[in-house]
Amino acid sequence: MTSVITDQGTAIQPGLDDIGEPLSAVTFVTVDLETTGGSPRTSAITEIGAVKTRGGEVIGEFQTLVNPGVPIPPMIVALTGITDAMVAGAPALSQVLPSFLEFLGNAVLVAHNAPFDVGFLKAACTQLDYRWPGNDIVDTVTLARRATTSEEAPNKKLGTLARVFGTQVTPNHRALDDARATSEIMHAMFERLAAWGITHREDLDSLRNPVPASIRRKAPMADALPPFPGVYVFRGNGGEPLYIGTSKNIRSRVKTYFTSGEQRRAIRDMLVIAESVDGYPTPTEIEANVLEIRLIDRHRPRYNRRSSRPERTPWVRLTDEPHPRLSVVRAVSGEAVHIGPMGGAGDAKAAVEALEEVTAIRTCKARLPKTPTTGARACLQADLESCAAPCILGDAGGYPNVIETLIDAITRDPSPIVEALTERITDYAGRFEYERAAALRNGVSALIQGAADAQYYGALRRCSIVAGRPNGNSWDVIAVSGGWLTGSVRVVDPSHEALDAAADGLLADDAGQPSDVQPLVEEMQLVASWLDSPGVRLLRVEGEWSQPVRGAARHGSWVEARRTDRALVWDAYAGTSPRI
C-alpha cells in the first residue's frame, strides 16, 4: 500500500486530536469544600472555593459560603472558623451549585483527597437533580505519592505539601485559601513529574493509580512514536511481534497501555516481556485497519485474539463432483459456486438446511459416479422425495435441473427459493411446529445474507475502483483492485482537480496484488463497509460495479437480488416474514 500524506506531498499540520493536549494548555479548576462533617449522607456543604488556572496562570476564582440548613458542630467551627452566624445569610446550595457547575465547565477538576470533595459535589447534583458533568479528575494526594519522597513529605497532608513546595498561600481550612494552595502544589508537582514523561493531559491517567514498576518503567517506549493514525506493534526480546493494534493517534494510544486503565491480564503479561514498540503511520484510518489485519494474519502474534484466525471463516459451496452437494468449508476459490462469508458456523449450517429443505439436493456425503453403479440403492431421502436420487437415477432424475436452480439462486436471484421457504415456514407455523419454523426462518436470513455477500465481494474482486469520502475539511481517497486495498491518500484540497490528481496518483502507484490469492475476508469487509458509507464518490471504475444496499437480512428484512444490464441491484424483499 502507498503511504501518501497529502495530494501534493505537503505534510498535514496535526491538530490537538493528533498530538494530545499539553498540560500548559489544559484548564484546571482546583476546588476545596468546607462541610459540617465527613459524609455527604449526613453532612452538608458550608463553603466552596475554587481557582481556575491555565498554563500556571490564575484566570478565575469562585468563593461563597453556603447555608447548610443545619447547625454547624462545635468541632467544625473550631477547625474552620465558620459559624452559624456567618452562614445564616448565605445562599442555599440550590442557588450556589448551578453557578459552580458553570464555573467548572469542562475543565479538569482538581482536589486534595478528591474522593471527599467529589463525593459531596456528586451528592449535591443528585439531590438537586443536576447531571454530574463527568469531568476528568486529578487528586493531588495521588500526584504527591509520585512526586515526593517519604523523607521530604512523611505524610501527604495539604499543610505538609505546602511547606515542601513553599506555597505563597498557607492552608487554613478555608475553602478558597486551601484551593489556592492546592493549585500551587499541583503546578509545582507537574514540574517534577515532567521527568516521568507526564507532559500531556492524556498522561494524567497513569498517575491516578499506580501500575507495576515492571510496566511503568517501559512507558518511555511510547515517546518516540508518531502522533498520527496507523498501526503499532509491540515486540519481544527477539523482535517478534507480541501484539498488533491500530489507533487514530499511535502515541496517545500506546501510552494508555502503561496506565491503570489497562486492566486486561493478557496485555499486562505482554507488557512485562515487551522490549520495544514500533509505529507505522498511515494517511487514512482504513489503511491502518487493513494493515493491522494483514500483519496479524502474517505474524499471528500470540496476544492478539481478534482476527488471529481468519481461516476459521465458514463458507457454503457446491462441491466439485459429478453430482454436487452443499458443503461448509473454510476457504473458497474465486471460481467456486459459493455463498458467504457466513457470520459463523451456525449460519452456514442453517443456510445449508434451508436449501436442502426445498431444492431436492442430495445430503449424503458419498462421492457418486456420473453413471450409477449396478445394484445401487437409494436412501430414505429418495423415498421421502426430498432428494433427486442421483445415486440410482443419475442425470435422468433431473439432478442437473436441481443444481441449475441452486446455482441461479446463489449467483443471481434467490427469490424462487425464498418464496418456497416462506410457504414452508408458514406451513410449519400453521401446524404449531414453531421451533422448526424458527430454525428455517434463521436459515433463510443466513442464506440471503450469504448470497448477497458472495455476489457483492465477487463483483468487488472483478473491479478496480478509486473512491473518495469526505473527512472533515479534507477527503480520504482509496484504491481497490481485485478486492485488495492497494493504496490510500488524505487530500487536503477538496477540489475536483485535486481529487482527480489523487486518483491518478494512486492508480500509477498501484503495484497490484496476485490475482490468484483470495483477499482476507476482514479486509474485503472493511473495504465494502467503507464503500457503502455515506458521502462516498466513485472517481475511477474499471469493470462492472454498483453500490448495493447490503445487510438487510441481518436486520430482519429479506433481500431480493435482481440483475440489470449493468450490475447487481439489491432491493428490499416485498414480503414480510411470518410471526413465529
Spell out the SS3 assignment of 118-172. Answer: HHHHHHHHHHCCCCCCCCCEEEHHHHHHHHCCCCCCCCCCHHHHHHHHCCCCCCC
In the sheet that holds 241-247, the strands lie side by side as: 241-247, 230-235, 276-281
Helix axes of 345-359 and 415-430: crossing angle, nearest 10 degrees: 90
In which region does residue 108 sit, left (phi positive, over 0), alpha (psi from -120 to 50) or beta (all else)?
beta
Helix axes of 434-461 and 345-359: crossing angle, nearest 10 degrees: 100
Report the 10 Å Cβ neighbour count for 356: 18
Backbone angles phi, psi at 238, to 5 degrees: -95, 10
Closest CA to 77 of 26, 127, 113, 36: 36
Identity of the residue numbered 352: V
CA distance 107 to 101: 10
Residues written for the chain: 580
The conformation of residue 453, written as its DSSP 8-state character, comes to H
Identified catalytic residue from 112, 173, 187, 299: 173
H-helix or E-strand containing 214? helix 213-216
137-139 vs 45-54, strand pairing mode: unpaired
323 is catalytic: no
Backbone angles phi, psi at 382, to 5 degrees: -65, -40
Cell of 254: 500506546
> 95 with 69: CB under 8 angstroms?
no
Q: From residue 579, how far is each of 204, 210, 424, 426 by CA, in Å?
A: 54, 55, 13, 9
137-139 vs 108-111, strand pairing mode: parallel
Cell of 306: 481478534
CA distance 245 to 78: 57
Active site residues: 173
